[in-house]
C-alpha cells in the first residue's frame, strides 16, 4: 500500500505551472479575439435613468458597447439564472435591466480590438442614476437584523449557529473579573491568485468553446444554456488550470455571461 503521508509526491501539473506553460482561462488567444472591459455602478442601490455610450462607440478600435438597453436576448425568468448551488432568493441577472442592486454592479461592457482600447472607452461611458436608500453599514443596521431561522436544508444547517449551552449570563455575573468591549475586524477576502476571466470562442455552426476560471464546468455549462437558450451539446466549458478558488469558483461569475 502506497504511503502518502511523509512521502514526497510530485504534482502532475507542477512543471507546467512553474515554467509558465500552463494556460489559464485568460491565456487563450485566437485570431480576431475581442477584449472586453466592464463598466460598473458607482451607487449601491437605485436605477439607471440615462446611459450615454456615444463617446465610447466613437473610439477607434471599439467593436461594440452593450448595456441593458441593447444586449442580446436573455432569459426572462429567475429559474434560468439559478445555478446548481445558488442560494435562496432572486438571483442576479447581468445586464438584465436598469435596476441597481449593489455597488460595483456591471452595467455595461465595451468590446474592442485590444484591452487598452476597451478600458479607455469604458471610462467614457456616462451614467445618470436615481439613487435609493441603501443599507451597507452592518454595525448601524444590526438592530434591524432578522433572527436566525431554523435551517431547512443541509447547506443552511452547515452555517447555522451552534445551539445554546449552559448559562453564560450566570457565569459572567459570577466571574471575578469582567471586561466589556467592542472589537472590529477589517474586511478580509479569500482572493485567489488567478483573477476571474473567461475566453469564449465562437465555433462553426454556432457552437461555443468556453475557457472559464471555475470549479464546476458542468454548472457553468448548464447556466449558460439556461440563460441564452442553448443546447448542452453546443456549449463546451473547460477549466484546465485553476489559480485558486477556495469555493468562490463553485458558482458562475458575471464575466462568463458577459463574454
Question: What domains can be seen in the chain, in order of their start residue?
Answer: 26-132+193-258 (3.90.1170.50)
CB atoms within 10 A of CB 41: 19
Tell me the mean pLDDT per 10 residues along the chain, length 259.
78 90 94 96 98 98 98 92 84 94 97 98 98 90 80 80 89 93 86 90 94 95 96 96 87 94
The angle formed by the CA atoms of residues 152, 156 and 158, to the nearest 5 degrees, is: 130
- Per DSSP, 25 falls in state G
Q: Which residues pair with 200 in a beta bridge?
A: 210
Residues present in the chain in total? 259
Residues with Cβ within 8 Å of residue 158, at least 6 apart in sequence: none
Distance CA 71, CA 38 (A): 14
- Per DSSP, 9 falls in state -
Query: What is the distance of C-alpha 47 from the center of its chain?
Result: 21
Query: What is the model's pLDDT at position 1?
Result: 62
Distance CA 118, CA 37 (A): 5
- Residue 127: which of 179, 65, 171, 74 has the closest Cα? 65
Query: What is the model's pLDDT at position 60?
Result: 98
Query: What is the model's pLDDT at position 39?
Result: 98
Alpha helices by DSSP H, listed for 70-166, are 115-122, 154-158
Residues with Cβ within 8 Å of residue 157, at least 6 apart in sequence: 151
The helix/strand/coil state of 114 is coil
CB atoms within 10 A of CB 173: 9
Residues 90-124 as b/e (b if ≥16 CB within 10 A, e otherwise) read ebebbbeebebeeeebbbbbbbbeeeebbebbbeb
- Residue 237: which of 253, 216, 254, 221 has the closest Cα? 221
Distance CA 28, CA 5 (A): 37
Query: What is the model's pLDDT at position 113?
Result: 98
Query: What is the distance of C-alpha 172 from the center of its chain?
Result: 43
Residue whose C-alpha cell is 512521502: 7
Amino acid at each position: 500500500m502506497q504511503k502518502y503521508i511523509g512521502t514526497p509526491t510530485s504534482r502532475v501539473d507542477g512543471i507546467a505551472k512553474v515554467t509558465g506553460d500552463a494556460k489559464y482561462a485568460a491565456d487563450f488567444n485566437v485570431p480576431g479575439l475581442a477584449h472586453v472591459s466592464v463598466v460598473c455602478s458607482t451607487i449601491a442601490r437605485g436605477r439607471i435613468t440615462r446611459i450615454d455610450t456615444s463617446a465610447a462607440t466613437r473610439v477607434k478600435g471599439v467593436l461594440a458597447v452593450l448595456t441593458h438597453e441593447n444586449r442580446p436576448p436573455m432569459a426572462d425568468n429567475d429559474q434560468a439564472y439559478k445555478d446548481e448551488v445558488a442560494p435562496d432568493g432572486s438571483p442576479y441577472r447581468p445586464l438584465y435591466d436598469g435596476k441597481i442592486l449593489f455597488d460595483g454592479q456591471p452595467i455595461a461592457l465595451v468590446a474592442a480590438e485590444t484591452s487598452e482600447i476597451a478600458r479607455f472607452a469604458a471610462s467614457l461611458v456616462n451614467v445618470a442614476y436615481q439613487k435609493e436608500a441603501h443599507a451597507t453599514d452592518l454595525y448601524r443596521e444590526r438592530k434591524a437584523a432578522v433572527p436566525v431561522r431554523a435551517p431547512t436544508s443541509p447547506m443552511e444547517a452547515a452555517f447555522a449557529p451552534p445551539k445554546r449551552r449552559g448559562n453564560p449570563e450566570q457565569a459572567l455575573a459570577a466571574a471575578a473579573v469582567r471586561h466589556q468591549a467592542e472589537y472590529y475586524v477589517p474586511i478580509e477576502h479569500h482572493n485567489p491568485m488567478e483573477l476571474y476571466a473567461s475566453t469564449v470562442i465562437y465555433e462553426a455552426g454556432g457552437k461555443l468553446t468556453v475557457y472559464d476560471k471555475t470549479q464546476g464546468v458542468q454548472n457553468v455549462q448548464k447556466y449558460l444554456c439556461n440563460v441564452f437558450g442553448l443546447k448542452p451539446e453546443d456549449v463546451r466549458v473547460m477549466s484546465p488550470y485553476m489559480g485558486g478558488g477556495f469555493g468562490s469558483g463553485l458558482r458562475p461569475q458575471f464575466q462568463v455571461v458577459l463574454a
